Amino acid sequence: MTKPVDWFIPDPKHTEAIMNYMLKQGHIKKPKQLTKTMYLQCTHCNDTISSSYSGEYVSCKCCKIAVDQTEYYTRIIGNEGDYLVVNNEDNYNAKTL
């Protein structure tokens, strides 16, 4: 029988050092900050969500809605009655799934 491995979560200082090392080595890419973000409010849990980095998937507390946004598209996951658009900067490329 194999011995179970004890896992630990590093503190933020070590996590930042690990991420900086991986960026310098080219193992990961730094995500792009979005210039235009869309804010959605869930009608069930009243949670306001937004995607601030390109390709970041964010869902609300009750998981009824989610948003995935890049500079080229905005993907809203959920029914149209489940969310309200808080700001309307660039909604022309948004599609509901």
The predicted-structure confidence for 11-66, as pLDDT tens digits, reads as follows 888 888 888 898 899 888 877 888 888 889 999 999 999 888 888 899 999 999 99
Coil, strand, or helix at residue 13? helix
Prediction pTM value: 0.61
| Beta strand 94-96 pairing with 74-77 | parallel
